[in-house]
Amino acid sequence: MITKIIGTGSCAGSRRVTNQELEQLVETSDEWIHSRTGISTRYLAQEEGSCAMAAEAAKKACAQAGVSPKELDLILLATSTPENCFPSEACQVQGRIGADHAVAFDISAACSGFIFALHTVHSFLVSGTYRTALVIGVDELSKAVDWSDRRTCVLFGDGAGACVVRAEKEGRFCSTIGSDGSRGDILTCQARSGGNFLTGKRPELGFIAMDGQEVFKFAVKKVPACIEEMLEKEGEKKENIRFYLLHQANERIIETVAKRLGEPVEKFPMNIGQYGNTSAASIPILFDELNQEGKLKRGDKLVLAGFGAGLTWGSILLEW
Ligand code: UT7
């Protein structure tokens, strides 16, 4: 069996925030943010939170696929910013959309989360364990950002993207994922830190801390290498790829990856200018936009690729 995406949906935070607004918050400028990253605006969640965004994206994906949530066997949700330690965000989405027959759980791989989730779901579908699944990438990094740190606060936005996938007889799907825990310290966000009655410390939450240049170097080296390796293994030529849907972290990273692959940048759609970096949501939001705009034709070969904290990375080749 082969994993086929049969519907997509997305939802961004409810409040659009411009670079000019951030100029009032920290010492930065629209010119700096736009020229270094490509970002002009981002959407931040307010009262709605990540569960509501994920549930909205999920409902839209099910509607587009023509699948009732009751038909779902599995919900796999990728996030680094769940609303609760437990219940999982996936279980909360399950409750909100009434997917009574599904099993639901979360997966954590930062900005590579959606790729890791789709890769994992594929294993369940090819083994025949499940037939229809919902894969969600959602993050609300605005609650993990230090809003006085200009090096990070200008980069991120909140949102969710979802795909309904089904085990089909025909199609194309292959994927590869990787991680390197020894380099994890270049991009971190501490969760509840140590504290119990023995230490006498109160658990605290940390903020995102990043060595931007190291992450940049890692991304422009690892992403093209990972894609090249996957395509070579699959015997697929780059000229047959219709679009490369890359994690939207920085326009300059995407342009460099295109150059290193020797592919025209027009094959790399981008929406970072509007959304900022939405972490695990960036690839499925982009996917949904292309789908809604009618830019995807059945049979198109697409490459998805992500990278992020962990360090983690991965790529997928699929036929739409
Ligand atoms: O999802 C995966 C996670 N993240 C990424 O993929 C991020 C990867 N890295 C990047 O995108 C880039 O490294 C950044 C956009 C984060 C930074 O761009 P850069 O060209 O690497 O800038 P830099 O860190 O070298 O900083 C250059 C200067 C510094 O000033 P000095 O030391 O040269 O005087 C910074 O303090 O820019 C300063 N700076 C800012 N200035 C205005 C840093 N942030 C800002 C800001 N506004 N927001």
3-state secondary structure (DSSP) of residue 24? coil
Question: Given 91, 111, 163, 226, which residue is catalytic?
Answer: 111
Does 192 have pLDDT greater than 90?
Answer: no
The percent of residues in the chain predicted with pLDDT above 70, rounded, is: 100
Tell me the pLDDT tens digit for each residue of 263-302: 999 999 999 999 999 999 999 999 999 999 999 999 999 9
Does 167 have pLDDT greater than 90?
Answer: yes
Q: Can you tell me the distance from the alpha carbon of 249 to that of 42, in angstroms, rounded to the nearest whole number?
A: 12
Exposed / middle / buried, residue 28 (Cβ in 10 Å: 0-12, 13-18, 19+): middle
- The pLDDT of residue 34 is 98
Which amino acid does the sequence have at 80? S
Direct distance between the N- and C-terminal alpha carbons of the chain, in angstroms, rounded to an integer:
15
Cβ of 252 less than 6 Å from ligand 1: no
The percent of residues in the chain predicted with pLDDT above 90, rounded, is: 94
3-state secondary structure (DSSP) of residue 42? strand
pLDDT-derived band of residue 214, with 50, 70 and 90 as boundaries?
very high
pLDDT-derived band of residue 205, with 50, 70 and 90 as boundaries?
confident
Phi/psi region, residue 269 (left: phi>0; alpha: psi -120 to 50; beta: rest), is beta
**Residues whose CB is less than 8 angstroms from the CB of residue 291 and which lie 6 or more positions away in sequence, other chains included:** 8, 64
Phi/psi region, residue 311 (left: phi>0; alpha: psi -120 to 50; beta: rest), is beta
Tell me the pLDDT tens digit for each residue of 44-102: 999 999 999 999 999 999 999 999 999 999 999 999 999 999 999 999 999 999 999 99
pLDDT-derived band of residue 110, with 50, 70 and 90 as boundaries?
very high
Global confidence as pTM: 0.97
Cβ of 308 less than 6 Å from ligand 1: yes
pLDDT-derived band of residue 249, with 50, 70 and 90 as boundaries?
very high
- The pLDDT of residue 288 is 98
68: DSSP letter: -
Does 28 have pLDDT greater than 80?
Answer: yes
- The pLDDT of residue 191 is 81
Nearest to 70, CA basis, from 102, 47, 39: 102
Give me ligand 1 centre to Cα 161, in Å. Answer: 27
Does 202 have pLDDT greater than 90?
Answer: no
- The pLDDT of residue 279 is 98
Report CA-CA distances (Å) from 199 to 107, 202, 203, 206. Answer: 30, 9, 10, 18
- The pLDDT of residue 212 is 96
Q: Between 30-37 and 251-261, two packed helices, what is the crossing angle to 10 degrees? A: 20
Does 193 have pLDDT greater than 80?
Answer: no
- The pLDDT of residue 183 is 97
Give me ligand 1 centre to Cα 155, in Å. Answer: 9
- The pLDDT of residue 200 is 84
pLDDT-derived band of residue 317, with 50, 70 and 90 as boundaries?
very high
- The pLDDT of residue 149 is 96
3-state secondary structure (DSSP) of residue 188? strand
Tell me which residue has its CA closest to atom 6 in ligand 1: 249
Q: How many CA atoms lie within 13 A of 204 on its CB side?
A: 6
Testing ligand 1's pocket by substitution, the residue of 151, 154, 222, 253 carrying the most ligand atoms inside 8 A of its CB is 151
Testing ligand 1's pocket by substitution, the residue of 24, 36, 307 carrying the most ligand atoms inside 8 A of its CB is 36
Contact (CB, 8 A) for 238 and 303: no
3-state secondary structure (DSSP) of residue 190? coil
- The pLDDT of residue 90 is 98
